[in-house]
């Protein structure tokens, strides 16, 4: 552990509306992929904890689910996780889109942020999608809404200005020893990361064909020699969804497996034999028992 008296360590949470790029930014900041990314909103369902250790300090990132209006028990759980995190951390990173329109969702978040004493850094993401001179207008719009400790425009996708953001985060962390060994990147169990990678590929490949109701359960994960044998089940809510996930002649399920396997192999640093199945569990997103079963522990 680090004995340096000028070393800082603390917790930073990423909050924001669904699909503003929280997981992409966290993956960029820690330098590798832990959180899944998708064009579909509300992709992150659990609070993912990742660790960035630098010479001057250690930042533990909590990537929360997006704050939104809940529609079912899974939605309630996701919103609760996000809002409770605000009081538990040293600094809050609020990610927004590069726009001068502040909608109802953003106003709801502003109300939550005004209640907290935790320092807030406003992060204007996706600056690669707008002209540079437009960003100043977006900064002004948000500055009028509340006092932020810092406002940092970034592109999580391109990595623009992310070094500056890390410097800003470190400013608000207390001095103290590291919470984790310097080679720790996440506290997520490996099985959970594998499940999330499979789910990410399913969401990407299925696009708009099925709603958001897909979970992945890892049935077994065993190393034999130089190969890791993984059996996973994709859970959906309707029989019609099951047919879409499997695809004609099993082609879609094969495609999900073949796109997930290389990333799992890269992460585990070994060859992977991945077997996928599909099961229907009606209304699993409204069942406390099934939510806990799939790792969403309220």
DSSP string, 189-233: -HHHHHHHHHHHHHHHHHTTSS-S--EEEEEEEEEETTEEEEEEE
Long-range contact set of residues 37-43: C-beta below 8 Å, sequence gap at least 24 = 37/200, 38/200, 38/203, 38/204, 39/204, 39/207, 40/203, 40/212, 41/17, 41/66, 41/68, 41/212, 42/18, 42/66, 42/68, 42/75, 42/78, 42/212, 43/18, 43/19, 43/200, 43/203
What pLDDT score does 40 carry? 43
Using an 8 Å Cβ cutoff, are 60 and 51 in contact? yes
Query: Parallel, antiparallel, or unpaired: how do β-strands 8-16 and 91-96 relate?
Result: parallel
Q: Give the domain 8-171 fold.
A: Rossmann fold (3.40.50)
- Strand spans (E) along 89-214: 91-96, 120-124, 150-153
pLDDT at 182: 77
Spatial separation of the C-alpha atoms in residues 8 and 81, rounded to whole Å: 26
User: Is the confidence at residue 65, as pLDDT, over 60?
Assistant: no
What does the pLDDT look like over 204-223, one tens digit per residue?
888 766 655 788 888 887 87
Residue range 190-293, CATH number: 3.30.300.20
Task: Give 223-280 pLDDT, tens digit per residue.
Answer: 788 898 999 999 888 888 899 999 999 999 999 999 999 988 887 778 999 999 999 8
Model confidence at 41: pLDDT above 50: no
Q: What does R_g of the chain's alpha carbons equal in angstroms?
A: 20
Two tokens, residue 215: 């979970």
- Taking 3-state DSSP, the helix, strand and coil percentages for the chain, each rounded to the nearest 5, stand at 40, 25, 40
Residue ranges matching CATH 3.40.50.300 in the chain: 8-171
Q: Check residue 226 and give its pLDDT.
A: 86
Q: Where in the chain is the domain with CATH 3.30.300.20?
A: 190-293
pLDDT of 43 > 90? The answer is no
Q: Would you say 24 and 37 are in contact if contact means Cβ atoms under 8 Å apart? A: yes
Question: Phi first, then psi: what are they for 51, rounded to 5°?
Answer: -130, 130
């Amino acid at each position: 552990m680090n004995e340096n008296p000028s070393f800082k360590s603390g917790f930073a949470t990423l909050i924001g509306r669904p699909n503003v790029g929280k997981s992409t930014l966290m993956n960029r900041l820690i330098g590798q992929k832990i959180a899944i990314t998708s064009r579909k909103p509300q992709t992150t369902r659990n609070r993912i904890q990742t660790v960035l250790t630098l010479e001057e300090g250690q930042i533990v990132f909590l990537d929360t689910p997006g704050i939104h209006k809940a529609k079912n028990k899974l939605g309630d759980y996701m919103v609760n996780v996000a809002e409770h995190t605000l009081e538990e951390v040293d600094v809050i990173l609020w990610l927004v889109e590069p726009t001068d329109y502040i909608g109802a969702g953003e106003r709801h978040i502003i109300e939550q942020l005004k209640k907290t004493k935790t320092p807030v850094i406003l992060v204007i993401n996706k600056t690669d999608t707008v002209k540079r001179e437009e960003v100043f207008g977006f900064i002004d719009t948000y500055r009028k809404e509340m006092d932020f400790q810092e406002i940092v425009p970034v592109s999580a996708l391109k990595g623009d200005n992310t070094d500056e953001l890390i410097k800003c985060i470190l400013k608000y962390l207390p001095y103290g020893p590291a919470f984790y060994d310097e080679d720790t990147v996440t506290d997520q169990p490996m099985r959970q990361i594998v499940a999330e990678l499979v789910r990410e590929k399913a969401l990407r490949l299925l696009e708009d064909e099925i709603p958001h109701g897909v979970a992945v359960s890892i049935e077994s994960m065993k190393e034999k020699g130089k190969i890791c044998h993984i059996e996973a089940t994709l859970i959906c809510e309707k029989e019609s969804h099951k047919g879409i996930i499997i695809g004609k002649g099993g082609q879609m399920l094969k495609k999900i497996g073949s796109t997930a396997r290389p990333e799992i192999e890269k992460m585990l640093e070994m060859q992977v034999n991945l077997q996928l199945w599909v099961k229907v569990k009606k209304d699993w997103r409204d069942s406390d028992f099934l939510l806990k079963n799939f790792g969403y522990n309220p």
